[in-house]
Amino acid sequence: MTIDISFVGRGRDKLGEGALWDPLEQAFYWVDITAPCIQRYDPAIHRFRRFAMPDLVGSVGLAAPGTLLVALRHGFHIFDMATSALRPLALPEAGNLGVRFNDGKMDRQGRYLCGTMDAAPGTQPALGKLYRLDANYACHVLETGISVSNALCFSPAGSTLYFADSSQGVLWAYDYDTKTGTPSSRRVLADTRAMTGSSPDGATVDSAGNIWVALVHGSAIGCFSPAGELLQKIDLPIPFPTCPAFGGPGLETLYCTAISSSGRLNTDHRDAGRLMRITGVGARGLPETRFRLGVPA
């Protein structure tokens, strides 16, 4: 198949991230972390919506129809798109100015994993953590000592967790207990910096179990096998891609967000920060799980 790359809409994000396809609504969501806002695109009618947020927004997850799980700077909220109401669920980093929430993804059982990152990357020791939010809104710390959390995604069966600290330039794999939501046996799956010249940013998994990673410093997306082999590298027409996600009716279209001006990464490229649509990649994505909203303990 021939790969084709096009831009979606005319908007340019400062720090686009959090790519997410809703198979129920057939809509694509992403965030502009520093704007800060959540954005929605309906391909069938080519309609864009923008929801302003009161603070930095790291990522979103699917919840009940019409609502999103939102990771703002200090914790987790439910966002009602009809009313624009935000309801806090858990604020584990309330008052901590040293970190903010960043990349997140639902596990296959409907728990939300989301990492924090240092507000000033390079802080020693690194202050970021990897959290898991359960249906009863309980937060559990799964990792510590993280500088820039990224690349969260899961194997098709959910038994392998992929995660990265972008500052280290490698993609990790963990065994993941699907019953308890506990990761173990961390190992380096791929040294993306050595293999491609770029640290890993956002990532997603296809139906064959391959991991598609935004190579933020390489203007590309890399496809890695579950064994860590680089299977494919797609060069992109703009700098600083950040987060890929499969979407469309058959989950065969790869969308990818990007940066124009994040503070640390800045460019005057005329198309920087635009949302990209990539077809012909020869892969199919997996539907994202929805958060299983429970009753607070």
Catalytic residue numbers? 201
CB 37 within 8 A of CB 52: yes
What are the residue ranges of helices labelled H in the chain? Answer: 192-196
Q: Residues 13-49, buried b or exposed e (16+ Cβ, 10 A)?
A: bbbbbbbbbbbeeebbbbbbbbbbbbbbbebeeeeee
Q: DSSP secondary structure string, 95-156?
A: T-TTEEEEEEEE-TTSPEEEEEEESSTT-SS--EEEEEE-TT--EEEEEEEESSEEEEEE-T
Q: What is the CA radius of gyration of the chain?
A: 17
CB 276 within 8 A of CB 5: yes
Sheet containing 230-235, strands listed edge to edge, beginning at the edge strand earlier in sequence: 200-205, 211-215, 220-224, 230-235
- The residue length of the chain stands at 297
Q: Residue 251: CB partners within 8 Å, gap ≥ 6?
A: 21, 23, 207, 284, 285, 286, 287
